[in-house]
Structure 1
Amino acid sequence: MKILVVEDDQKTAEYIARGLNEAGHICDVMKDGTDALFQVTREQYDVLVVDRMIPGLDGLSLIKAARAAKIKTPAMFLTSVSGVDDRVEGLEAGGDDYLTKPFAFSELLARLNALARRPPSLDQKTVLKVADLELDLVKRQVSRQGIAIELQPREFTLLEVLMRGEGRVLTRTMLLERVWDFHFDPKTSVVETHVSRLRAKIDKPFEVPLLHTVRNTGYCIHAPR
């Protein structure tokens, strides 16, 4: 899944992001509601995790504005505001779930998985396709020409990032940030190693390659031209 966490407490945000990344998900973190609203209008997410008390637009206003803009991404409020009226207010604002702090990460993850399994609206994709390659975000399955392909969690996330950016070149730095949550260069060949493993599984057994190396720039996945 690709998840946006809107949380202004740095420790909480880092804790959530680390756990989601370790579970094999892509996680973006923002601390300002106004910036987050702009982000969800230009980037597609599978689930939103939103604190109610954030700078800029507060969490309620953020979700109300997103729903007014026809953004139907499932949203969970994660907040210390825990009264019954507060929970009702959050759900009526367009939230799909409400979890109060302090929380167990295992419960957070289970609830996010449950939200992602809900039947999608017509404009939400749960299956990514590039030519004859398919990635099912809900079932976490990959296949090409109908043949199942077994991927490790990090390989699955790497493929998801590449397929979401179909036709666009993603640099090594971009992949380090989106797949491994590295905001620095670890000076290792982790990207190259995983790309090589992924290519061996999704390309080499088949006639037409989809995953391409753009010399001195990065990697790109696209259908045959």
Structure 2
Amino acid sequence: MPRTGILPLSARGPASLHVLIVEDEARTSSELRVGLEAAGLEVRQASSGEEGLRLCAEEAFEAMVVDVMLPGISGLTLVRRLREAGNDTPVIFLSAKGDLVDRLHGLEAGGDDYLAKPYSILEVVARLRTIARRVQGRQQTGRMQVADLVWDAGHRQISRSGHRIDLTPKEYALMTLLLEHAGHVVPRGQMVQAIWGMDCAVDPNAVDVQILRLRRKVDGPYPVKLIHTLRGVGLLLEPRETA
């Protein structure tokens, strides 16, 4: 169950988000709504995956909070169907299951973040605003180019020299993080947050594997390398000619 309470004024933002809560447990849904509305967010509620799909077809939401275990259509299936239909509304999954495998399943289904119960309403609000800002920034820019690499944020596509690069969800999350911070160093902890959706103890080898796979796809065939490692610091995206 969420840890609730009236949010301090410092937690309330001037910009209101239109948020859909998809949660079948009435008390949890009610507590979430009270907490989010206290933070200045506009909230709609659905008690099943089917109702969530219907509301998404009728209204445009800026973010969603979705319970993984729903009657009928599960939260994972709900988000997969939205993504297949081209709906990129940012989603935070909520679940009683908080181990790494479950979190990865949520992210691979198309979720943007994952919180295990019990959670803090303050944290839900902060994460909602973070992912909403991230998506809004992408929509405003539309397309971004670094050397011959083009990122079409609206269609979630990345290409180099006119050739589309097929990335896994984790690779895409890491690449978009680097693009959003092009020319600036991205520390390892921020990469973990982007790939796994949380700050947690992740095997360093798992991070290295994602970096290696991404570098092979993005830089492997090209003379101009874009992804560079600053040992002990992080990754940097900028074009550099190979010697």
Q: Is 2:195 the partner of 1:219? A: no
Shift of 1:159: 0.6
Match in the other structure for 2:182? 166
SS of residue paired to 2:13: helix
Match in the other structure for 1:124? 140
Partner of residue 58 from structure 1, selected from 26, 38, 52: 38
| 1:39-81 Cα deviation digits (max 9, x unpaired) | x79xxxxx9745572437536x335xxxxxxxxxxxxx45269
Provide the rounded CA distance (Å) in 1 between the counterparts of 2:168 and 2:62.
30
Tell me which amino acid in the other structure corresponds to 2:88. A
Shift of 1:155: 1.0
Tell me which amino acid in the other structure corresponds to 1:107. L
- Unpaired stretches in structure 1, ≥5 consecutive residues: 1-7, 11-30, 42-46, 64-76, 82-86
Partner of residue 13 from structure 2, selected from 31, 37, 40: 37
Match in the other structure for 1:157? 173
Provide the rounded CA distance (Å) in 2 between the counterparts of 1:210 and 1:185.
28
TM-score for both structures, normalised by structure 1:
0.55
Match in the other structure for 2:2? 9
Provide the rounded CA distance (Å) in 2 between the counterparts of 1:196 and 1:170.
16
Provide the rounded CA distance (Å) in 1 between the counterparts of 2:161 and 2:152.
14
Shift of 1:121: 11
Q: Is the 8 A contact 1:133 1:142 kept in 2?
A: yes
Q: Is the 8 A contact 1:176 1:183 kept in 2?
A: yes
TM-score for both structures, normalised by structure 2:
0.52
Q: Is the 8 A contact 2:19 2:65 kept in 1?
A: no
| 1:158-213 Cα deviation digits (max 9, x unpaired) | 11111112122111111112211342223331111111111111112111111111
Tell me which amino acid in the other structure corresponds to 1:129. Q
- Unpaired stretches in structure 2, ≥5 consecutive residues: 22-31, 48-54, 90-135
Structure-2 change in CA distance of 1:128 and 1:191 (3 Å): farther
With 122-131 and 182-191 compared, the bigger mean Cα shift is at 122-131
Match in the other structure for 1:139? 155
Structure-2 change in CA distance of 1:32 and 1:174 (3 Å): farther
Over the aligned positions, Cα root-mean-square deviation in angstroms equals: 4.5
Provide the rounded CA distance (Å) in 2 between the counterparts of 1:182 and 1:122.
21
Task: Tell me the number of residue pairs that the alignment of Structure 1 and Structure 2 aligns.
Answer: 168
With 106-115 and 178-187 compared, the bigger mean Cα shift is at 106-115
